């Protein structure tokens, strides 16, 4: 009994990677739903983190996100990911409307076979729930996206990393005259994820 | 000692009549000196130092001040560097000619300070151009960073300075959302905004419903057409499985029939033009014809696979739109009633209307399409026009009564527009955003206006002027979305059935008083005559 609970609270690099990439999956889907990037009827309700999270049922989108997150997972495992940014751009003008930034702090000392850290899964889930909740609540202060929008995912990785074949270098897609709101963060003790959203300030 | 000095300084300064011995020279004297004008000097003290001959002030001035950007030693005197043309380059040194009384004297002659309590700038000698340039173009490297700049620098480092990171993006881009999809938030947030201009109308339009009828169990389904007003002044409404007729002339209510089966319901009602026969669409797909005078079922026509949500009469032809997307033409006179099928909608047909001249049929569906069909009854007909501009289901379809080729269509929640079409050319004439779901449109010939019924957020009926499309009036009162509209045969009253289970009658197109007096003169003449007679008798 004692052994099993001990196992439950142990965080390995692999497990932490799983947790973080899973969070990205749910977080990105949440953003896409909440910001109305895709029609609401293409989303389905899923119970996760003690919340109802809306996940896309669009096959193409699902495949796209899986491909992106597979690579992100590799970077998380190498602890070379610095940031993951979801950029929401206007379809017509290609202007950046919103920028959801997830700063990832990786503990570089941890290796795949190093000793697991201690943190209860419940606690992590609770922290993630806080972040997802904030994403949902952000609708109240973010300005309405008047035009049709598309999204793009940017990954900031360490300089010495090789660029995978399916990925290309991109600009940072900053928003001129932006307003920034810091959201909560969560940590698995190996990866610390800080959330932030920047939006256009049209006053 | 110092107090003696002060004493003598005060003495000097209060002696107004004596020539000024110490302190700066007078302004006019300096001016004269600088411009080289020879003047009769009043003070020897001034001229002693300079001599009497006119001089060019630039070369003569022994004191050249160098104001270096280094502000710590602003007053360091340097050797004169005669330069006749003030250089405009930023590197040139800023030079001051003449004594600056305040800056110079205190250091050199502290005792002779007393008289100069003012600083009078010497404008001819100050190189305004250069000082202005200097002021505006602060050399950054020598200035300490302002808090603003520090912040800027910090930001810059944070963002650009991230040279230790690569920014990567997946080459394959995210799939785009379906064309024409509108964020539901936009629909929600902009629903209360009324963008259309309001007209100034002198016409009186009652803001209150003239009459409110209870309509329990009225199905709150946008895709059904459950209200219609006949030429005989009978208002028919389908409430669940029952059909009721309200006689508008005497206000009596009668139930025409009720479907036995609990699961079935009436999905559409439509009067024939003459007003004696009622076509009823049933959720099973059957279309029934009722003789209202005899309260008798005349005929049941089957053929549809799903519920019949829309009906339209064209003389003896009844067209019915089905949830399957098919439109059937029924010739109600013959035994083999099914004479044509129109198949271009992929989803439920919820709006159906024949043009007043009977030559065109307009159909609107949940697939956001508006189709215009000819009156030819052959099988596998294709539409004359297909309009794809609407972004939501099109239920409201109404032909203009005075312009047979003009069709008005209104879209659902995600669209909210009323579009006008010229069906001879197949072009869109105008489009107006109503900011709310459009359930039905009714034209008024007298005022050249149209009335549209809306849903969230006001649940109002809006009267528009055509073709300017300015709002004449908004009739509010329904507490839930309006589902159907019906125009009375005299064209003055509109009945609106809404999801709040009421039918409200609005007398919004009442005939103008001036017009009334013209046509009502004959009627009133008897009454008037009586009045005249009375008056006469009094006299």
Nearest CB neighbour to A166, from listed B171, B185, B186: B171
- Whether residues B111 and B250 share a domain: the answer is no
Residue A12 has pLDDT above 80, yes or no: yes
Q: Do A155 and B189 touch (CB under 8 A)?
A: no
Please say which residue of B97, B121, B142 terminates a domain. B142
pLDDT of B313 over the 90 cut:
yes
Q: Enumerate the residues of chain B whose CB falls inside 8 A of the CB of residue A91.
A: 176
* Cβ count near A152 (within 10 Å): 17
Q: Which residues of A touch B190 (CB under 8 A)?
A: 144
Point out the residue among A144, A145, A166 whose CB comes nearest to the CB of B170: A166
pLDDT of residue B12: 64
Q: What is the pLDDT of residues B403-459, one digit of tens each?
A: 989 999 999 888 889 999 999 999 999 999 888 899 999 999 888 999 999 988 889
Query: Does B108 share its domain with B238?
Result: no
From first CA to last CA, the distance across chain B in angstroms is 122
What is the pLDDT of chain B when averaged over all its residues? 77
Q: Measured between beta carbons, which residues in chain B are less than 8 angstroms from residue A182?
A: none
Give pLDDT tens digits for A122-161: 889 999 999 999 988 888 888 888 788 889 998 888 888 7
For residues B22 and A48, the model is more confident at A48
pLDDT band of B188, cuts 50, 70, 90: low
**Cβ <8 Å between A154 and B167:** yes
| pLDDT classification of B306: cutoffs 50, 70, 90 | very high
Residue B335 lies in a domain: yes
Q: CATH number, domain at B490? A: 2.130.10.10
Band the pLDDT of B157: cuts 50, 70, 90. Answer: low
Phi, psi of B169 (to 5 degrees): -135, 150
Give me the phi and psi of B175, to 5 degrees please: -65, 145
Is residue B359 domain-shared with residue B484, that is, in the same domain?
A: yes
Does residue B174 lie within any of the structural domains?
Answer: no
On whether both B136 and B253 belong to a single domain, the answer is no
* B contact test, residue of A71, A100, A140, A156 with most B CBs within 10 A: A156
ipTM of the complex: 0.78
Q: Which of B280, B367, B360, B287 is nearest to B325 (CA)?
A: B367
Q: Are residue B111 and residue B31 in the same domain, yes or no?
A: yes
CB atoms within 10 A of CB B367: 17
The yes-or-no verdict on residue B277 having pLDDT over 70 is: yes
User: Are B131 and B216 in the same domain?
Assistant: no
Q: Phi and psi of B8, rounded to 5°?
A: -65, -35
The yes-or-no verdict on residue B165 having pLDDT over 80 is no
Is it the case that residue B41 has pLDDT exceeding 50?
Answer: no
Q: Is residue B32 part of a domain?
A: yes
Domain contains B273 = yes
Segment B522-533 shows an average pLDDT of 43
Instruction: Say if residue B373 is in the same domain as residue B235.
Output: yes
CA B95/CA B75 separation, integer angstroms? 11
pLDDT at position B38 over 60: no
Q: For position B77, what pLDDT does the model report?
A: 46
**Total Cβ atoms within 10 A of residue B480:** 14
**For residues B452 and B484, is the Cβ–Cβ distance under 8 A?**
no
User: Which residues in chain A touch residue B171, judged by CB atoms under 8 angstroms apart?
Assistant: 166-168
Q: Which of B142, B165, B182 is the last residue of a domain?
A: B142
Query: Which member of B162, B168, B181 has the closest CB to residue A169?
Result: B168
| pTM of this prediction exceeds 0.80 | no
All structural domains of chain A, each given as residue ranges with its CATH number in brackets, are: 2-200 (3.30.900.10)
Q: Do A150 and B176 touch (CB under 8 A)?
A: yes
User: Is the same domain home to B308 and B439?
Assistant: yes
Looking at per-residue confidence, does B271 or B6 come out higher? B271
More confident residue, B342 or B46: B342
Q: Cα distance from B162 to chain A (closest Cα, Å)?
A: 9
What is the residue range of B35's domain?
Answer: 2-142
The answer to whether position B299 is within a domain reads yes
- The answer on B417 and B336 residing in a single domain is yes
Asked if B130 and B266 sit in the same domain, the reply is no
Q: Which two tokens stand for residue A135?
A: 């994403």
Residue B289: which residues within 8 A CB-CB, separation 6 or more? Answer: B277, B278, B279, B280, B297, B298, B299, B300, B301, B318, B332
Question: Has residue B155 been placed in a domain?
Answer: no
- For chain B, what is the domain count? 2
B190 located within any domain: no
Integer Cα distance of B494 and B506 in angstroms: 5
Does a structural domain hold residue B166?
Answer: no
Report CA-CA distances (Å) from B99 to A169, B63, B113. Answer: 64, 7, 14
B186 contacts in A (CB within 8 Å)? 36, 144-146
Examine the domain organization and report whether B515 and B400 are in the same domain: yes
What pLDDT score was predicted for residue B120?
74
Cβ pair A150:B174 closer than 8 A: yes
Claim to verify: residue B92 and residue B212 sit in the same structural domain? no
């Amino acid at each position: 009994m004692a052994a099993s609970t001990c196992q439950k609270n142990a965080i390995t690099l692999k497990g932490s990677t799983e947790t973080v990439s899973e969070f990205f999956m749910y977080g990105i889907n949440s953003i896409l739903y909440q910001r109305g990037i895709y029609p609401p009827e293409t989303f389905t309700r899923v119970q996760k983190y003690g919340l109802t999270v809306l996940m896309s049922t669009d096959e193409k989108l699902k495949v796209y996100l899986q491909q992106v997150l597979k690579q992100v997972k590799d970077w998380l495992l190498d602890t070379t990911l610095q940031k993951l940014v979801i950029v929401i751009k206007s379809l017509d003008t290609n202007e950046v409307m919103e920028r959801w930034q997830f700063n990832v702090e990786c503990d570089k000392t941890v290796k795949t076979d190093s000793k697991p850290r201690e943190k209860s899964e419940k606690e992590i889930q609770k922290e993630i729930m806080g972040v997802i909740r904030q994403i949902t609540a952000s609708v109240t202060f973010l300005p309405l996206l008047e035009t049709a929008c598309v999204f793009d995912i940017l990954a900031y990785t360490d300089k010495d990393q090789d660029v995978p074949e399916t990925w290309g270098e991109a600009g940072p897609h900053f928003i001129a005259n932006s307003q920034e709101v810091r959201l909560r963060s969560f940590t698995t003790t190996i990866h610390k994820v800080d959330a932030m959203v920047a939006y256009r300030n049209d006053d | 000692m110092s107090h003696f000095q002060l004493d003598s300084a005060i003495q000097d300064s209060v002696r107004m009549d004596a020539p000024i011995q110490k302190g700066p020279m007078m302004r006019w004297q300096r001016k004269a000196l600088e411009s080289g004008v020879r003047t009769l000097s009043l003070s020897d003290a001034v001229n002693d130092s300079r001599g009497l001959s006119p001089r060019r002030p630039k070369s003569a001035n022994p004191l050249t001040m160098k104001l270096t950007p280094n502000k710590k030693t602003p007053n360091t005197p340097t050797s004169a560097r005669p330069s006749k043309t003030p250089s405009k380059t930023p590197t040139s040194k800023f030079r001051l000619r003449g004594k600056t009384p305040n800056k110079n004297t205190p250091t050199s002659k502290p005792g002779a300070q007393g008289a100069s309590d003012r600083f009078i700038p010497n404008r001819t000698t100050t190189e305004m151009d250069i000082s202005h340039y200097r002021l505006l173009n602060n050399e950054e490297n020598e200035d300490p960073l302002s808090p603003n700049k520090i912040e800027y620098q910090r930001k810059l480092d944070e963002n650009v300075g991230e040279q230790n990171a690569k920014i990567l993006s997946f080459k394959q881009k995210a799939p785009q959302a379906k064309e024409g999809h509108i964020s539901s938030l936009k629909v929600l947030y902009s629903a209360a905004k009324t963008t259309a201009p309001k007209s100034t109308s002198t016409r009186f339009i009652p803001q209150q419903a003239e009459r409110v009828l209870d309509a329990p169990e009225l199905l709150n389904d946008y895709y059904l057409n459950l209200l219609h007003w006949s030429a005989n002044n009978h208002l028919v409404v389908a409430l669940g499985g029952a059909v009721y007729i309200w006689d508008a002339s005497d206000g009596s209510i009668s139930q025409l029939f009720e479907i036995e089966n609990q699961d079935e319901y009436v999905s559409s009602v439509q009067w024939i033009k003459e007003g004696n026969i009622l076509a009823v669409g049933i959720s099973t797909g059957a279309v029934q014809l009722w003789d209202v005078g005899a309260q008798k079922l005349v005929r049941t026509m089957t053929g549809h696979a799903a519920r019949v949500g829309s009906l339209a009469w064209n003389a003896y032809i009844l067209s019915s739109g089905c949830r399957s997307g098919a439109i059937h033409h029924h010739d109600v006179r013959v035994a083999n009633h099914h004479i044509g099928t129109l198949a271009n909608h992929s989803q439920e047909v919820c709006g159906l209307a024949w043009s007043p001249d009977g030559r065109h049929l307009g159909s609107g569906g949940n697939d956001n399409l508006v189709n215009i069909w000819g009156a030819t009854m052959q099988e596998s007909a294709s539409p004359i026009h297909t309009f794809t501009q609407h972004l939501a289901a099109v239920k409201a379809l109404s032909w203009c009564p005075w312009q047979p080729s003009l069709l008005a269509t209104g879209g659902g929640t995600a669209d909210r527009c009323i579009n006008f079409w010229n069906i001879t050319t197949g072009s869109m004439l105008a489009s107006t955003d109503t900011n709310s779901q459009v359930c039905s449109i009714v034209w008024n010939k007298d005022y050249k206006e149209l009335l549209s019924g809306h849903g969230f957020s006001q649940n109002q009926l809006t009267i528009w002027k055509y073709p300017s499309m300015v709002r004449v009036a908004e009739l509010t009162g329904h507490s839930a979305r309006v589902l159907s509209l019906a125009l009375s045969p005299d064209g003055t009253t509109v009945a609106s059935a809404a999801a709040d289970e009421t039918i409200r009658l609005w007398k919004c197109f009442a005939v103008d008083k001036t017009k009334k007096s013209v046509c009502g003169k004959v009627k009133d003449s008897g009454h008037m005559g009586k009045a005249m007679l009375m008056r006469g008798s009094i006299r």
